[in-house]
Amino acid sequence: MSDAASEGRRQGFEQLSFRRERPAFNPLYGRFVSLIKIVLPTIATALIVLVAVWPHLNEQKKRFQIGPAQIDPSDAENLRMVNARYTGVDDSRRPFSVTANSADQLDGQSTLVKLDAPKADVLLGDSTWVALTANKGVFDREKQILELSGGVNLFHDSGYEFSTSSAIFDLAAGDATGTEKVEGQGPFGRLRAEGFRVYNRGQRVEFTGKAKMLILPKKDDGK
């Protein structure tokens, strides 16, 4: 083999080896390397900041932790209603209503309701009506009994008005009783007594204890 041929093969081998050692340049790989140079320092900085502020975040979490409210079971059992209203009918299917500024159920199982500024409107057998008002009251929803106290006032649409300090009204039966001093006035005149009883939806009224009545003379028409 001639020297010229040997030299040609050697140069060809060197050129082949050089091409194998230097692969072709990939532009996507260059972009990836550039992106890594930007992202890695950013992540490192964020980690440093997080390590620095984490104790403060943990303290705020303990201080303002959000969770279920601690409710006293007794508060959940006592129900309160504002502008309460109850409607029903008596034994003769005549309607009545009881309203109050607020109503508080005494406990979760009781039918008793404590009333603030109660008012009751009752329709009587002769199609007349009675309005009852007081400062406080307790209403038994099951028995339909209303106990009033403090400034109890009874007004009949025929013009009679009575006042006492306490009274009990059976709205279902249409009866009422009072054991405190009572004062009344109306077209007949004025009266005072130590108590009263009402039977059969107002068809009969009794005044108990020492009673005093002042009867006013009936005025003639046109005089």
Average pLDDT, consecutive stretches of 10 residues, N- to C-terminus, the chain (223 residues):
53 49 56 62 65 56 42 56 90 90 83 94 83 95 94 90 95 91 91 90 85 80 51
Domain ranges of the chain: 3-63, 74-215
Contact call for residues 179 and 206 (beta carbons, < 8 A) = no
Which residue's entry shows tokens 């020492």? 210
Q: What is the pLDDT of residue 174?
A: 85
Q: How far is CA 203 from CA 11, 102, 129, 133, 200, in A?
A: 137, 32, 12, 21, 6
**Looking at the domain that runs over 74-215, which CATH code has it been given?**
2.60.450.10
**Could you give the CA distance from residue 186 to residue 183 in angstroms, rounded to a whole number?**
11
**Beta-carbon count within 10 A of 75 CB:** 9
Q: What is the pLDDT of residue 221?
A: 53
What's this model's pTM, rounded to 2 decimal places? 0.62
Secondary structure letter of residue 213 according to DSSP: E
Q: What is the pLDDT of residue 44?
A: 64
CA 40 to chain centre: 55
Contact call for residues 206 and 213 (beta carbons, < 8 A) = no
